[in-house]
């Protein structure tokens, strides 16, 4: 074991950080402007650059992804039930519940682990007002089917695209689908603004509403509180980080691709033997390689690896465990067997710009060694 143990800890991710001199230049601007938050010049510049680089119609930035999603649901004045996925981070479900809406969980597809559109229609009732799918690990949902269901039943379609920064489908940004898409710019994401998030949307009427909702509901024209708002503003230090990281993100995604492909190659034998399953990027998609996951063939093996790998200074994560409809805080129906199966058997392995291919090789060696140890203990 000792020859495979990492000297320094290897985490599931590390944040993308610009050269400190570049960030310092932006800090100097903040000092010169004496403007720290509340729709400052760097936030506006950041929004404009994102719009241009990714071909977006409207964008509003926020303090984090979660608040962005809460505000998206609030702005659409939704009521009743929202159909969503149980295989996601707690945020998606909590944003729905936080808006006094009831999440109704539909099961996921077994390939990309996204909300399966074929499971939605049976759950639609006269109380349903929206669908909130997630592009899990950055892999796009079935966009056309989702759009058709939303149109046929007159439902709002809000994508949780927290993982999907930079992803394109048929040459178009993934953020341009649905009524609204939410992105997270959290430190652990492909692209970060330390904390941060954004909403991308088509409808111009939402521009002023989002600006008000992130500022205590105060409208800019009348300076009146017209909505029950939040403090959801992005500050200038976050926008500065975003502006610096925008210059780096394309190269970071290229590095991630090399890592992703190395995992696919190194772990292929284990997949061929049916011991684990990996996700191959979808056709017609420009992926962002945000996460690399393995679904083990048993929960026992997943648990064994999860608790064993830290002995090698290797820290993987259980994205996402358990499924959100099993959180002890709520009492939801647990009738989503595919989500449950995936959630109990999945591990996310390290992937980030700066992780060497040599380290990836070592991670795969550790996994192979420990799967052998697990099997020999079993029989
Ligand atoms: N919807 C979905 C589908 C999401 O996945 C998320 C967030 C949201 C909505 C909400 O967006 P935000 O409001 O967060 O913008 C992390 C993130 O905190 C969370 O943003 C993310 N999803 C979720 C999937 O993962 P944890 O609890 O797993 O993070 P943590 O602190 O264990 O970090 C993971 C590893 O990253 C650490 O082991 C080490 C490394 N790390 C982390 C941080 C924060 C660093 O090296 N440096 C750092 O600064 O939740």
The closest residue, in CA terms, to atom 29 on ligand 1 is 188
CB-facing half-sphere around the CA of 341: CA atoms within 13 A: 11
Residue 86 and residue 105: Cα distance in Å, rounded? 6
Which of 182, 186, 323, 351 most suits a substitution to test ligand 1, by most atoms within 8 Å of the C-beta? Answer: 186
- Ligand 1 center to 366 CA (angstroms): 24
Q: Per residue of the chain (379 residues), what is the pLDDT tens digit?
A: 679 999 999 999 999 999 999 999 999 999 999 999 999 999 999 999 999 999 999 999 999 999 999 999 999 999 999 999 999 999 999 999 999 999 999 999 999 999 999 999 999 999 999 999 999 999 999 999 999 999 999 999 999 999 999 999 999 999 999 999 999 999 999 999 999 999 999 999 999 999 999 999 998 777 889 999 999 999 999 999 999 999 999 999 999 999 999 999 999 999 999 999 999 999 999 999 999 999 999 999 999 999 999 999 999 999 999 999 999 888 888 899 999 999 999 999 999 999 999 999 999 999 999 999 999 876 6
**CA of 134, closest atom in ligand 1:** 3
184 closest CA partner among 72, 52, 100: 72
Residue 29 and residue 376: Cα distance in Å, rounded? 61
Q: Is 14 in the pocket of ligand 1 (CB under 6 A)?
A: yes
Q: Is 193 in the pocket of ligand 1 (CB under 6 A)?
A: no
Which of 10, 17, 89, 158 most suits a substitution to test ligand 1, by most atoms within 8 Å of the C-beta? Answer: 89
Q: Is 169 in the pocket of ligand 1 (CB under 6 A)?
A: no
Q: Is 293 in the pocket of ligand 1 (CB under 6 A)?
A: no
Q: DSSP H helical segments within the chain, as ranges? A: 20-33, 41-54, 65-75, 90-98, 143-152, 206-213, 236-246, 249-266, 268-272, 299-308, 337-345, 357-378
**CA of 13, closest atom in ligand 1:** 36
Write down the pLDDT at residue 116.
98
CB-facing half-sphere around the CA of 23: CA atoms within 13 A: 15
**CA of 136, closest atom in ligand 1:** 3
Q: Is 85 in the pocket of ligand 1 (CB under 6 A)?
A: no
Write down the pLDDT at residue 379.
60
Q: Is 348 in the pocket of ligand 1 (CB under 6 A)?
A: no
Residue 205 and residue 246: Cα distance in Å, rounded? 28
**CA of 186, closest atom in ligand 1:** 15
**CA of 67, closest atom in ligand 1:** 13
Is 76 within 8 Å of 203 (Cβ atoms)? no
The closest residue, in CA terms, to atom 39 on ligand 1 is 11
Q: Is 11 in the pocket of ligand 1 (CB under 6 A)?
A: yes
- Ligand 1 center to 81 CA (angstroms): 27
The closest residue, in CA terms, to atom 11 on ligand 1 is 65
């Amino acid at each position: 074991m000792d020859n495979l143990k990492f000297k320094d800890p290897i985490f599931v991710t590390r944040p993308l950080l610009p050269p400190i001199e570049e960030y310092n230049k932006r800090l100097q601007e903040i000092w010169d402007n004496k403007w720290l938050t509340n729709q400052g010049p760097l936030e506006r510049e950041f929004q404009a650059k994102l719009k241009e680089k990714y071909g977006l119609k409207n964008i509003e930035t926020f303090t984090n992804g979660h608040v962005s999603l809460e505000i998206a649901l609030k702005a659409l004045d939704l009521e009743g039930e929202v159909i969503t996925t149980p295989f996601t981070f707690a945020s998606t479900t909590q944003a729905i519940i936080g808006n006094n809406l009831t999440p109704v969980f539909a099961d996921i597809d077994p390939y990309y682990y996204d909300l399966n559109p074929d499971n939605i229609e049976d759950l639609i009732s006269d109380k349903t007002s929206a669908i909130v799918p997630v592009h899990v690990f950055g892999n796009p949902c079935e966009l056309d089917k989702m759009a058709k269901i939303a149109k046929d039943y007159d439902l709002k379609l809000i994508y949780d695209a927290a993982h999907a920064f930079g992803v394109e489908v048929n040459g178009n940004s993934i953020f341009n689908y649905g009524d609204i898409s939410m992105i997270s710019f959290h430190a652990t994401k492909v692209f970060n603004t330390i904390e941060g998030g954004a909403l991308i949307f088509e409808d111009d009427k939402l521009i002023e509403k989002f600006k008000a909702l992130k500022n205590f509901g105060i409208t800019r024209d009348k300076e009146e509180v017209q909505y029950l708002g939040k403090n959801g503003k992005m500050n200038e230090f976050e926008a500065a980080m975003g502006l610096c990281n925008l210059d780096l993100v394309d190269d970071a995604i290229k590095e991630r691709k090399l890592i992703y492909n190395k995992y696919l190659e190194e772990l292929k034998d284990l997949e061929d033997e049916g011991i684990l399953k990996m996700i191959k990027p979808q056709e017609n998609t420009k992926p962002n390689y945000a996460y690399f996951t393995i679904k083990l063939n048993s929960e026992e093996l997943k648990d064994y690896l999860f608790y064993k790998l830290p002995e090698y200074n290797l820290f993987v994560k259980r994205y996402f465990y358990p499924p959100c409809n099993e959180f002890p805080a709520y009492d939801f129906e647990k009738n989503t067997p595919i989500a449950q199966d995936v959630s109990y058997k999945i591990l996310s392995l390290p992937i980030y710009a700066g992780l060497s291919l040599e380290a990836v090789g070592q991670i795969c060696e550790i996994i192979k060694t420990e799967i052998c140890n697990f099997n020999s203990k079993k029989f």
